[in-house]
Structure 1
């Protein structure tokens, strides 16, 4: 006879609470919460706080414990000893914990250490604008310039890891003032730095995010004040470089309804100069037709941003939200061009207005499910004018244009916790864009029409699975995204207009149709291992795409009054398809921290600048060069030479090359080096001084001939 004894395992409990800054009462995200066995004095389990400062520790066995809560830049907090008993309750809320900013008292210096400027999470790197002191009093553009891996050129074009092929979002959306172009001009975002809550840099996006952008995503998250009563903030700044901006945000909350408003305006003037030296090299090696083109540019951008909305909360995690945005803008640009004794003065002006309506909702039960959806409806319209002078004489030709753009984005996302450690994400998205460009070329007493229409629709569905180990030291994420994309473009101009304007024969066909239609799968995965709270390894892969936008396919010349150098689009461009791999290692030590990353992309249908000679004119456009690759190294080291002096060194090397070019003249290598030194001095009597310096190594840039 056999006897079996059946026993039950001890029931497990859930411990919750919140962590906040003691001075501002703001929630602290990514604070480390360790649950220590009081009798054995060993860590039993633990977790991290989320964006609301909330932590949830599962799988806790009955016993006697205390909590140790840590966050970089704050003093460690130890809770009172408490007991857990599954017979009494399965969920135990320990309430709120407040962390004090750390202070080092030295002989002659008191150094207050605030929250870190950079936080590394599983899927993104987060930058706190409040700790980027050189951006204080500036705009969103100044914040971008202060982030190590981001570069902003003189025209406001943003690059990440040396490439402008980056998707930039505002509160997770592309719609709105960021426009619909392939490259983003960050100066077109009239948002003061004080209104930005954080900037997220995502180099290994998951399947839940759009596949656009070769090197990743930059998400600008604006502040949202939810305090009770009437609250607000006003900021006014003026600079000696003809830079003025002002902004204010307010909210009024009573009960479950919160009304909010954001207002900002910016007036920015810039000037610069550039030159372009061209030499025609024949196959035999002889040189001919040396020319030098110099350009002096003066520009002024004036823009305002007005938004207002209402948020209705059913519970802490369930709400409905509606917001409307209005953005009037005006851009002026003057160019003085000298080319082989020819003196041109060109004047361009744009006046426009943007309207955006954004509606959304979130229904959530924490650690169980989350359902969210939103719709964005946008209309932009602007008028443009161009005229010029040649050798001091007003040209007989001028240009007027009208552009109308409509966009809608609809998406629905659902998250489900299958277990406390496994999360399933799925969703659908429908994105639509239509743009009409009507231009009238006035030549002497007659006018001719040029019409370009661009249409794009992308429908997507995704599935992503995330697994976090019990001790949260490893994260696994894998997903797949299916996109059905279609783009169309039509172009027409009055018969004989190209000849009348002096364009080379065959440069622009009277009518053409552009059509790209494809269905493609974009897989992704991410593995992150944190053997300790201060050390992390990460590897990620994602398939990406760069779709040619209206500016890249519109064949009408951008510089109409200078027929010797023509910049045009290419109606035959195909999308770039990318396989991107990212490896990262970071470590925080007692006196210094460092991070290193290796990244690479394999690119199909690589798009490159190409320059050809047609009837003596230099025609610059874009072409699909073939297959290629982009490789790079990125590093950052932060240390303190003295207690009041913090120094950060960052460096980036990248190399892009075409190895299977369709045309021989499109084979080549683009490479470069960027470096930055940031020094922050904190004075004992109050005040902070930040000094930034950048180093740009010489870049090798190939072009066709």
Structure 2
């Protein structure tokens, strides 16, 4: 039945796509969208020419040529240049005309005062078009773009202008993006929600599905070009990610020839080395790259105090911990693209990522019952968080004419994850009495197929539709073992062991329509339907009763520009499926006072999002304010309650019991003091109400309610000086965050950096420092219910300094940019709300 429904949905959405393709093969279009088409007056004159790059003198493919009547100002004919830059307009009537030439990445060019007589053949010869990119001594330098830009449907942070990011990872970059909050563990929130979809170069990855915070550590900061934040996605994006979309775009080039970039950095808390190269000749291009980063000297200290009441007995736990972590991160990629024809291209790539995180923590726990100490014990824990991820994709794009295109995208992704710990249990004399081991191996693999088609309707309308299928399988094999001070480990009968198999197949289809009026109103509406098939089971208990479900996701966006002021209004409905960490029933007791157990019976949560935004340029100042509302039903919430069998322990699991409301405002202002100096400020504030329930004493239902205001904000500035010198400073502060059963303390972060370029900007040396005014930072968290109270203080020692070096090898020339095949985007996971990071992928700027 599942296969039949998938086939029906895809047949429904693909039939109109193929119906529009010419049966005799695609021919070069003659009429631009909105021109007269086959109603163009027929004459006997002809105009021809060749488009070339003014700097590289290379042909420009797919350049658009529009022919205008000088008297009426109306476009009467048009065409697109071929792979050699050549074009021709035939059957042109006699008269006076002008030609407008345009192409992405190049300045528009107008050829005026063209007069044609009957039967005349006019050859315009070689037409040179200037790129928007400036070249200096064979090194390309882009124009001075703003650090932060607001576009029609997204906010863009130009990370390549961040000189302090070298030597860091993507976490360091995302901390500086307005609307986003990144805590000290690397967990990312958008307007207070961790239910976001994260893409890398418009593609999902199973490593993101396992942990966003861990995935970000594998991306070198200096390889990130932009970060795109989409808060009101249209129906062409996956319905997943109730909070919004984050798309991380890494640096690419359209250069001809061979190039190699070497980046290195060393610091007191981490070091990195990156080699990235590319070769492009004619229609084919290859890229290869590798990145390795090691982290060390990451020290934490913790203090925990909690009280609980079980069967009338008050138990108090006092715990202190000292820990440190180290890790190795790597990412290696190989890419290929080829132009099959002047209007067809294919791209393919494979990427392998590796993460080896080792965490060590020494805990001392004191237990009190009714005010008297009953036990004192120690626990030394070694935890391993290891993963290896493979992503492979093949994508095809066919462009029929400007804005009319068809694409097919495929992606296979697999993540092998190991999350184990070993613990030595110590008595009051620090002698090992027992040992514990938790083994948990997981495999998350998925295959995705999607197709998209878009076509213009006249010159002010655009129709888009497509279909998608995701086939996903998650398996988790877990067991809890015990041993004496010496000897072999054996299975612990009192603790759960088993295997979870979770199949999740998704069939989706969408349609979207965009309409722009002459008075600069833009309306975009659409609808998307996704049907999810679930087959879940455990080795011990058999099938789990999680039913299939479908969801209809509408979206509406509108904008209007009035005298330099842009107003935007948006509504969308989103779905958030549970992530692996929330589903996995493994009994994680690395810290026996805080135990986590997943729930494989979780259902998705649904969110309605509303937003109203206004932005304006006032001379050199850009100001943006966005008011938003978010209502989530059936919310996946953490539920904490005391353990019946482990004195003093708190057990955390997940249930669909919550209802969450959030209403707030985002403010942002950027000031371009000069062409070389700019600074800005941003602030986020929202009021949230959370409701839910948990089980109290004697299995009674305890209602939970909490509300409050969440505030965060930051400032930044950057400057470019003479002789290749530059400087940047950034500061961020987050206030207390409201949770269902308490509140989490705020934190701060700041960094400054300087950079010196040399060798005609082929190389650079940089120095950056962060949190250098304080030795450590304290995060204070309070959790409570009728059965327990918990106070947890975490101390982070993240004072850091790093020295970076970059050098570019290779002599390159600029080639005309081309539209490449689109790629798959997936989003299907939700954060578990813990330090492990968000458990899932989220939509990105690449439409689905």
Instruction: State yes or no: 1:654 paired with 2:680.
Output: no
Q: Could you tell me how far apart the structure 2 residues matched to 1:81 and 1:365 are? A: 28
Deviation digits for residues 320-369 of structure 1, max 9, x if unmatched? 12212222331211122233243322101244322222111111123252
Hey, what's the Cα distance between the residues in 2 that align with 1:91 and 1:589? 46
Q: Give runs of aligned pairs for residues 250-269 of structure 1, distance below 5 A.
A: 250-269=277-296
The one of 550, 573, 576 aligned to 1:519: 550
Which residue of the partner structure matches residue 170 of structure 1? 200
Q: Shift of the alpha carbon at 1:385?
A: 3.6
Q: RMSD in angstroms over aligned alpha carbons?
A: 4.3
SS in 2 for 1:146: coil
Give the 5 Å matches for 1:482-521: 482-491=529-538, 513-521=544-552
What whole-Å deviation, never above 9, does each CA across 1:182-210 have from its counterpart, x for those lacking one? x6215555222333332211111111111
Moved more, 689-698 or 624-633: 624-633
Shift of 1:692: 0.7
If asked which structure has higher relative contact order (CA below 8 Å, sep 6+), I would say 2
Instruction: For residue 156 of structure 1, give the secondary structure of its aligned residue in structure 2.
Output: coil
Task: Using the TM superposition, give the Cα deviation of residue 680 of structure 1 relative to its aligned residue in structure 2, in angstroms.
Answer: 1.6
Return closer, same or farther for 1:305/1:167 CA change in 2, 3 Å cut-off: same
CA drift at 1:563: 3.3
Question: Is the 1:625–1:658 Cα contact (8 Å) retained in structure 2?
Answer: no
With normalisation by structure 1, the TM-score equals 0.80
Give how far 1:279 is off: 4.0
Aligned to 1:205: 233
Counterpart-to-counterpart distance in 1, 2:54 and 2:618: 23
1:321 matched to 2:333: no
Shift of 1:133: 2.8
Q: Partner residue of 2:827?
A: none
2:616 maps to which residue?
587
Number of the residue aligned with 2:498: 451
Q: Indicate the SS of the match to 1:224.
A: coil
* Equivalent in the alignment of 1:689: 727
TM-fit CA distance, 1:557: 2.2
Match of 1:104 in 2: none
Q: Give, in angstroms, the shift of residue 690 of structure 1.
A: 0.9
Give the alignment of 1:273-672 within 5 angstroms. Answer: 273-280=301-308, 289-340=315-366, 341-391=376-426, 392-394=430-432, 395-444=434-483, 445=488, 447-448=490-491, 450-469=497-516, 473-491=520-538, 513-531=544-562, 534-560=564-590, 562-615=591-644, 616=647, 617-640=649-672, 645-658=677-690, 664-669=702-707, 671-672=709-710
Give deviations 1:524-566, integer Å, cap 9, x for gaps.
111122235x532111111101111221022222224x43331
* 1:579 Cα offset (Å): 0.9
Using a 3 Å threshold, how does the CA distance of structure 1 residues 700 and 258 change in structure 2: closer, same or farther? Answer: closer
Pair 1:701 & 2:739 matched: yes
How far apart are 1:591 and its partner, in Å? 2.3
Deviation at 1:664, TM superposition (A): 4.4
Cα 1:483/1:588, change in 2 over 3 Å: same
Could you tell me which runs of 5 or more consecutive residues in structure 1 were left unpaired when the two chains were aligned.
Answer: 1-8, 28-34, 45-53, 55-61, 102-111, 494-509
Q: Distance in 1 between matches of 2:51 and 2:147?
A: 22
1:129–1:143 Cα contact (<8 Å) kept: yes
- Secondary structure, counterpart of 1:213 in structure 2: coil
Query: Could you tell me which residue of structure 2 aligns to residue 244 of structure 1?
Result: 271
Q: CA deviation at 1:316?
A: 4.8
Whether contact under 8 Å (2:166, 2:265) holds in the other structure is: no
Q: Assess, with a 3 A threshold, how the Cα gap between structure 1 residues 360 and 453 changes in structure 2: closer, same or farther.
A: same
1:119 corresponds to? 149
Q: Closer, same or farther in 2 for the Cα pair 1:124/1:400, shift >3 Å?
A: same
Q: Offset of 1:65 from its aligned partner?
A: 7.3
1:311 positional shift? 1.2
Counterparts of 1:133-172 in structure 2 under 5 Å? 133-172=163-202
In the TM superposition, residue 463 of structure 1 has moved relative to its aligned partner by: 3.0
CA contact (8 A) 2:514 2:522 kept: yes
1:308 to partner: Cα distance: 1.0
Which residue number corresponds to residue 217 of structure 1?
A: 245
Deviates more, 1:412-421 or 1:377-386: 377-386
Contact 2:109 2:129 in 1 (8 A): no
**Contact conserved, 1:226 with 1:251, CA < 8 A, in 2?**
no
Describe the shift of the 1:249–1:637 C-alpha distance in structure 2 as closer, same or farther (beyond 3 A). Answer: same
CA contact (8 A) 1:670 1:702 kept: no
How has the CA–CA distance of structure 1 residues 322 and 90 changed in structure 2, closer, same or farther, with 3 Å as cutoff?
A: farther
| 8 A Cα contact 1:478 1:526, kept in partner | yes
- What secondary structure does 2:207 align onto? coil
Give per-residue Cα distances to partners, 1:111-144, cap 9 Å, x unaligned.
x981112222222222222122332343222221
Query: C-alpha displacement at 1:637, in angstroms?
Result: 1.0
SS for the counterpart of 1:225 is coil
Instruction: Give the conservation status (yes or no) of the 8 Å contact 2:719–2:728.
Output: yes
Residues 462 and 479, structure 1, Cα contact 8 Å, conserved in 2: no
Q: Is the 8 A contact 1:141 1:186 kept in 2?
A: no
Aligned position for 1:105: none
Offset of 1:625 from its aligned partner?
2.6
Moved more, 76-85 or 566-575: 76-85
Q: Say if 1:343 and 1:371 are closer, same or farther in 2 by CA, change over 3 A.
A: same
How far, CA to CA, are the matches of 2:476 and 2:575 in structure 1? Answer: 25
Q: Deviations over 1:1-30 (max 9, x none)?
A: xxxxxxxx9979x9x99999989x9x9xxx
Classify the secondary structure of the residue corresponding to 2:588.
coil
- Using the alignment, how far apart are the partners of 2:387 and 2:230 within structure 1? 32
State the Cα distance separating 1:689 from its structure 2 match. 1.1
TM-score by length of 2: 0.67
Please give the secondary structure, in 2, of the residue aligned with 1:185: helix
Q: Distance in 2 between matches of 1:137 and 1:38?
A: 56
Check whether the contact 1:166–1:214 (CA below 8 A) recurs between aligned residues: yes
Q: What is the count of residue pairs matched by the alignment?
A: 642
CA distance in 1, matches of 2:616, 2:236: 28
Matched with 1:128 is: 158
| 8 Å Cα contact 1:175-1:407 kept in structure 2 | no
Determine if contact 2:133/2:143 at 8 Å carries over to the other structure: no
Describe the shift of the 1:618–1:470 C-alpha distance in structure 2 as closer, same or farther (beyond 3 A): closer
Give SS of 2:472's match. Answer: strand
- Give 1:100 deviation, angstroms: 7.8
